[in-house]
Chains A and B, each alone.
Chain A
Amino acid sequence: MSFRLSYRADPGNPWFSWQYVRDNSDTILAAVREHASLTGRAVLFAVLIALPLSVLAYWFRPLAGPILAVSGVVYTIPSLALFAFIAPYLGTGTTTVLVGLVLYALLLIVRNVVAGLNQVPPEVGEAAEGMGYGRWGRLFRIDLPLALPGIVTGVRLATVSTVALVTVGVLVGHGGLGQLIFAGFQNNLYKAEIMTAALLCVALAVVLDLLLILVARLVTPWSARRAR
């Protein structure tokens, strides 16, 4: 095993080159767009599925165990294996990637939303019932708003890990920026291509995370006020 770092500055293959970015701006932009759109759609679908599931787990306690257990098992399946299960049925398209991403994002969101809903103090629930709120009124006016911090945490975790996970879509040819990373690897280790794509990946995760923090501030003004 040699841990010797290669300091030889290879003039032909730098870690970063503006030349590469300029010459390939179209490809890079297309990859970023695919990456962002896959992430956005996956998280959106995951939220749409996760919220009703979490409410079910909250309302009917016996369902909570099975729902969390099943999504936990799915989460343990490695992404490559999950894509391998889906691809023979759905083919090598965006759908395969999307289904895999949604399944993974699901657990993170469900777990955090359920935790958020369970944190609603029982006194608040009783007060709401005393004020005449029905099951649905209580859910939308009391429980969900109070669970918002949990929901936001879940969505943020899901978004950041989805951004990283999209790259595995390379397996079926739709990996967004992962496509560039892999191409750079195959292309005689084109460092600039690998590094640019990797940095853009991390940057995309950070930007989306910050956006979600901002949205969270806007929808839960009370939590910012309390912090101050």
Chain B
Amino acid sequence: MTVAENPIGQAITWINDPLNWTNPGGMLDRLGEHLTISAMAVALGCLVAWPLGLWLGHLGRGGGLVVLISNATLAIPTLALLTILPVVFASGFGRTPVVVALAVFAVPPLLANAYTGVRQVDPEARDAARGMGLSGGQLLRRVELPLAVPYLAAGFRTAAVQVIATAALASFVNGGGLGQIIRTGFGIGIAAGGGQIVAGGVLVAGLALLAEVVLGGVERLVTPKPLRRGRQRLGRPRAADATGRA
């Protein structure tokens, strides 16, 4: 068993080498790839999950389906989906299969929160809107959707952090991203590449934590003040925390 000597010192040296930033396949390249892939996956996930979740919530049906989808994706190993999808898509190893695979993992939190967001709307508000003569579509757009925004934001944050974390695994299928730095480090071997491995880990973890903090702030901003206080008193019930780990 090989163990690296002073991996942290090695990592600092590695990060301080400007070439490791600007080289082709250096940190900046990989960061760009990582963000592009993640953004595309989250966007695709939103496009699919939000309309479906809002609509199911509006109808008040399909709660079982939402739970089923959440549970099923929890059990599917990320690695399996990442390797299977490139084979399914004739395009082979472009970005598409990686983006689709990541989007699959973005769907459960987005879907569950959209559904819960509409379901938790006060029935009295719904009745009042009906009484004012709003049609089903108007009710969804003007009453339920605005009241569901805090939940949509919470789902977005969970999904985005999840996707950014999972995108690191794209390196296993040569999909690029910051995970590639870690994989290259392991390729060199732990004794020599220990610093690069730790440096890659710091970048991946830092990006995920940064996303969590920034999107947490966004979530607070879009949550109207009265709802904010109410949710804290209830111990912040979050609809979809049961996401798989990447």
Q: Are B96 and A3 in contact, CB atoms less than 8 angstroms apart?
A: yes
A62 to B215, CA, bound (A): 27
- Residue tally, chain B, CB below 8 Å to A: 55
B185 partner residues in chain A, CB cutoff 8 A? 84
The reply on A178 being an interface residue by CB < 8 A is yes
A104 to B3, CA, bound (A): 23
6 contacts between A and B (CB under 8 A): A76-B209, A77-B205, A78-B204, A87-B190, A167-B79, A191-B87
B173 partner residues in chain A, CB cutoff 8 A? 185
A159-194 residues at the B interface, CB under 8 angstroms:
160-161, 163-168, 170-172, 175, 177-178, 181-182, 184-185, 189, 191, 194
A72-103 residues at the B interface, CB under 8 angstroms:
73, 75-85, 87-93
The reply on B169 being an interface residue by CB < 8 A is yes
Q: Are B246 and A79 in contact, CB atoms less than 8 angstroms apart?
A: yes
A147 to B28, CA, bound (A): 48
A73 to B75, CA, bound (A): 22
Instruction: Of the listed stretches A52-60, A127-135, A137-145, A197-205, name the one at the interface; the rest are far from the partner chain.
Output: A197-205
A201 to B77, CA, bound (A): 7
Q: Are A81 and B200 in contact, CB atoms less than 8 angstroms apart?
A: yes
A181 to B164, CA, bound (A): 22
A80 to B88, CA, bound (A): 25
Q: Are A2 and B89 in contact, CB atoms less than 8 angstroms apart?
A: yes
The reply on B208 being an interface residue by CB < 8 A is yes
The reply on A215 being an interface residue by CB < 8 A is no
Task: Please pick, from A92, A157, A167, the residue contacting B2 in the complex, using a CB distance under 8 A.
Answer: A92
Q: Are B75 and A88 in contact, CB atoms less than 8 angstroms apart?
A: no
A6 partner residues in chain B, CB cutoff 8 A? 87-90
Q: Do A197 and B80 form a contact, CB below 8 Å, given A80-B179, A92-B190, A164-B74?
A: yes
